[in-house]
Structure 1
Amino acid sequence: MRKPRLSKVAVAVTAAALLPLSLAACSDDSDDKDTKSDSSSSAKPSSPDKGSDTSAMSEPFGPACGTVPKSGKGSFDGMSKDPVATAASNNPALSTLVTAVKKAGLVDTLNNTDNLTVFAPTNDAFAKIPKADLDKVLADKEQLTKILTYHVVPQRLKPTQMDNGNFTTLEKSKVKTSGSGESYEVNDASKVVCGNVQTSNANVYIIDTVLMPKS
């Protein structure tokens, strides 16, 4: 039994269909070359990527940063627009600190002073202090002020400045910082759990233990 032969019409139709494809392939080859030459010339200015890496290094870091609200006044963006005491009041994890700052009458001092670094203890940090002792401190304005101002350095500290540092606080005694990368401690006892949080007038390092100045 003989195989049916394609008709001349079918052959012509097939050829007509294939011709544009072959022309397109040729065109694509030349376009690819042009595209490669264009992309190679436009790919040269890759230095901005380094800038973006630098910018990423200035972002907040640490295991507790994930608990910060993603939007609103308590978010990193929201906090960056407010002075530090106001910004802290919008972060639920710092509510005990905010109560202490209000009792000590330090809200205006913190909000109206430029270029600060605040080591901000979390609610859990305050919870490490026996309740009777904490209540006693909260009721003693002089002692409370001494403790809170010990958490404030009158300059904005970048993470790299904290690798091995000693800084005079508003309380007038020094805090020691150590660490590198995204792991830092204050006074060899309190860990930074969310660092380099920006407010309009301060850098904030949220810590897991309340700092106590020497008597």
Structure 2
Amino acid sequence: MIKLLSTFVVALFTSVTLMANDGIDKPVKEKAEMDIVDLAASTDFLSTLVAAVKAGDLVDVLKGDGPFTVFAPTNEAFAKLPAGTVESLLKPENKDKLIAVLTYHVVPGIVKSTDLKDGQKAKTVQGQEVTVSLKGGKAMIDNATVTAADIEATNGIVHVIDSVILPK
């Protein structure tokens, strides 16, 4: 978890530094000044998620007012899926399946880690519910462990998870 958080901080610092040093006089964006999509796009370990959001035409939705809570699977989480699954979901003919998977990772409103309770159910934008488990000091959303929590964006909050959760 420390490595994951370190990677996130380095990626965020790098993106802020690049924006500050682009030769244009403009305010530096900080984490809390980025929406969910820009936050994810500035983080290398969420690049598969960003590609999927683009393929599903969900960028404008997740850049919207929200607020949203996003359970963001890492690139490693996507790599755990059976071989060919990600490539298949990214094909235009599977866009509806991709949207169902992605919207299953989004809950309307703000759900902070301090709000989570063992056995809690949360209805996703996809329509089904995810289940929260609290075990050994770790929060789980369905079968995914939250590895970084409460990352604030202008239109919501992001919790990084180590597995892709799938609707039933």
Q: What TM-score do the two structures reach when normalised by structure 1?
A: 0.65
Read off the aligned partner of 1:200 and give its amino acid letter: T
The structure-2 alpha-carbon separation of the partners of 1:74 and 1:131, relative to structure 1 and needing over 3 Å to count, comes to farther
Kept in 2, the 8 Å contact 1:74–1:91? The answer is: no
Residue 104 in 1 paired to residue 104 in 2? no
1:51 corresponds in structure 2 to none
Do residues 143 (structure 1) and 97 (structure 2) align?
Answer: yes
Do the aligned residues in 2 keep the contact of 1:195 with 1:204 (CA within 8 Å)? yes
- The alignment covers a number of residue pairs equal to 151
3-state SS of 2:90 partner: helix
C-alpha contact 1:74 1:87 (8 A) present in aligned 2? no
Deviation at 1:113, TM superposition (A): 3.2
Q: Which runs of 4+ in 1 moved over 2 A?
A: 72-75
1:136-158: CA deviation from partner (whole Å, max 9, x where unpaired) = 11111100000000000001011
Equivalent residue, structure 1, for 2:33: 81
The higher radius of gyration belongs to 1
Aligned to 2:121: 166
One-letter code of the match for 1:135?
A: E
Indicate whether 1:185 and 2:140 are aligned: yes
SS in 2 for 1:96: helix
Identity %: 33
Alpha-carbon distance, 1:182 to partner: 5.6
Deviation at 1:178, TM superposition (A): 2.1
The whole-number CA distance in structure 2 between the counterparts of 1:154 and 1:180 is 24
Q: Deviations over 1:62-105 (max 9, x none)?
A: 53212213424369x83321110111001001000000000000
TM-score (norm 2): 0.83
